[in-house]
Structure 1
Amino acid sequence: MAEDEKRARWHACYAQAETLAPEPLPFLAAHADWLPAGGRALDLACGRGGNALFLARRGLETWAWDYAESAVAGLRQRADALPLRVECRDVVAHPPEPESFDVIVVAHFLYRPLFPALAAASRSGGLLFYETWAGAYAGRGPQNPEYRLKPGELAGAFPALTLLELQEDVDRAAGVWRC
């Protein structure tokens, strides 16, 4: 798919998004007590930014990156006085720098070659939260199996990090690791 087509597809997706305030992943919110009181956080492929807003409201200096300008435009309007930097960024071409974040959150984005860069971007003692679509298509998420994890795949995605918790069900997988 050409770059312009890809951008147009994502723009259309977020342009039609609900106007309600975005919410964080339930998996992230359920583990809020694991988050540090301060530090740097990244919401990679942030979409409408529910995770970024959640992290920034908890006092983390937060970066929110997404490929779709229409996604980050709405988030910029919600960021106000929060410690939140919003950027339209191609995370595949420009992954995070090594040891640059205390918390990294990735939700509903899957590009397997980025796994090593995400692990490397985690600072010592940092947390990496990852949740995305898994298993066979069952009416939600992407239909293309390349954009869905295989059963058990997430458990081995970050071998250099310590897996703290993993949840897998019919159509999603979520995990949190410590660097």
Structure 2
Amino acid sequence: MKPSFRQSTEISHASAEPSAWVVRFVPLVPTGSPVLDLACGSGRHSRLFLQRGHPVLAVDRDLSRLGDLAAHPRLEALACDLEDGSVPAFFKRRFGAIVVTNYLHRPLFGLLAAALAPGGILLYETFAKGNERFGKPSNPAFLLDKGELLRAFRDKLKVIAYEDMVVEAPRPAALQRLCAQSEPAD
């Protein structure tokens, strides 16, 4: 089986704590709105939004890492191969927030922007070129080019914040981060 981006990064970059980038922008998410945690892994961001009263759709190829979180009454857990070439039906829904961390599958960019409800927030954080010096992922196919995340969404969403940088914590990594918002309803 060909290793996926998720498999290559889970061990070396996994953390039980939510991303500081995601936590920073949580207050922008409309109260009580549904949240999509895409490639959710162990559900660290699902847990954050559930604690804030949001219903959450947690999607990953393997849901076994959700543990006790899978039984939460406001959590819908969906096992889904996001890279099989099909468009999952959940992209027809609209979300007050979509969270994607440590995952990159470029064909999903347009679907993510379209799945935001009016005024919804996209929180995206993943690895960029330069990360190969810190370990996995090191395959260029799984690393964003300079400014790529910004270019992917700036014509579709209002960019609130963007960073392309090297961080030292929780582990050294080259990252791009984006917080963007869909147009509010009139």
Q: Note whether the superposition's TM-score is higher than 0.5.
A: yes
Q: Secondary structure at the match of 1:160?
A: coil
Say if 1:98 and 1:122, in contact at 8 Å, map to a contact too.
Answer: no
Deviations 1:69-96 (A, max 9, x none): 2xx2231422443511112111233444
Matched with 1:168 is 164
Cα gap change, 1:30/1:11 in structure 2, threshold over 3 Å: closer, same or farther? closer
Q: Which amino acid letter does the alignment assign opposite residue 174 of structure 1?
A: R
Cα gap change, 1:25/1:12 in structure 2, threshold over 3 Å: closer, same or farther? closer
Q: Which amino acid letter does the alignment assign opposite residue 176 of structure 1?
A: C
Structure 1, gaps ≥5 residues long: none
Matched with 2:140 is 145
Q: Which amino acid letter does the alignment assign opposite residue 179 of structure 2?
A: V
Q: Which amino acid letter does the alignment assign opposite residue 91 of structure 1?
A: L
Count of equivalent residues: 170
Q: Secondary structure at the match of 1:60?
A: coil
> TM-score, with normalisation over the residues of structure 1?
0.83
Cα gap change, 1:144/1:11 in structure 2, threshold over 3 Å: closer, same or farther? closer
Cα gap change, 1:82/1:22 in structure 2, threshold over 3 Å: closer, same or farther? farther
Matched, 1:78 2:69: yes
Structure 2, gaps ≥5 residues long: 167-173
Q: Secondary structure at the match of 1:91?
A: coil
Say if 2:5 and 2:103, in contact at 8 Å, map to a contact too.
Answer: no
Separation in structure 2 between the aligned mates of residue 21 and residue 121 of structure 1, nearest angstrom = 27
Say if 1:57 and 1:82, in contact at 8 Å, map to a contact too.
Answer: no
Matched with 2:95 is 101
Match of 1:157 among 152, 157, 164: 152
Structure 1 residue 141: Cα displacement: 3.2
Say if 1:56 and 1:62, in contact at 8 Å, map to a contact too.
Answer: yes
Matches within 5 A, 1:5-16: 5-6=1-2
Matched with 2:169 is none
Match of 2:50 among 26, 32, 56: 56
- State the Cα RMSD in Å: 2.6
Structure scoring higher RCO (CA < 8 A, sep ≥ 6) equals 2
